[in-house]
Amino acid sequence: MAHAPTDTPNIWAAAAAGLVAGLAASFVMDRFQAGVAALSSSDSDAEPATEKAADKVSQVVVGHDLPDDRKPLAGQAVHYALGAGLGIVYAVAAEYRPAVTAGYGTVFALANTALLDEAAVPAVGFGNAPWKTAPSTHLHSVASHMVFGTVTEAVQRLLRGWMR
């Protein structure tokens, strides 16, 4: 929850709440995506961007590609690490600028969609350019990030309320 004007901002409490919120939101987003995938008839075998990122980290750190059987778990690690980091940034920003929580995390969600899925992922070669991506993929991305943003806001708001 954004602090009242008379409260003193606490960056460490906000960061802790954001860490937990980002991890929780990553879990809920993951379950949402799994549910949508189970309902969809898509046979996409495309490697997820998180697995591509994990493979790139492996190449840089240990000098070789990840074995295929380790990519799903490594991709999940990237997903949760990014979610935790985004949760921290969001909660700390909300601590100092309550307007960040506009739309109960949905503005944050749309910013994540635009900056990550629509810009960064294609820019580093982990996905197609937005104009080469199916509209349904864009909608899935927006919906997934809306889930992430609202859960991040709900959890950080709850935790910051308890910490005051």
Q: pLDDT tens across 75-113, in order?
A: 999 999 999 999 999 999 999 999 999 999 999 999 999
Give me the residue label for tokens 């493979």: 55
What mean pLDDT do residues 51-69 have?
93
Arithmetic mean of pLDDT, 55-63: 93
Q: Answer whether residue 19 shows pLDDT above 90.
A: yes
Provide the pLDDT for residue 6. 46
> Rounded to an integer, what is the distance from CA 132 to the centroid of its chain?
22
Cβ count near 12 (within 10 Å)? 10
**What is the residue-averaged pLDDT of the chain?**
92
Average confidence (pLDDT) over 115-122 = 95
Cα Rg, the chain, nearest whole Å: 17
Buried b (16+ CB within 10 A) or exposed e, 127-156: beeeeebeeebeebbbbbbbbbbbbbbbbb
pLDDT of residue 22: 98
**Distance of alpha carbon 132 from alpha carbon 128, whole angstroms:** 6
pLDDT score recorded for residue 126: 92
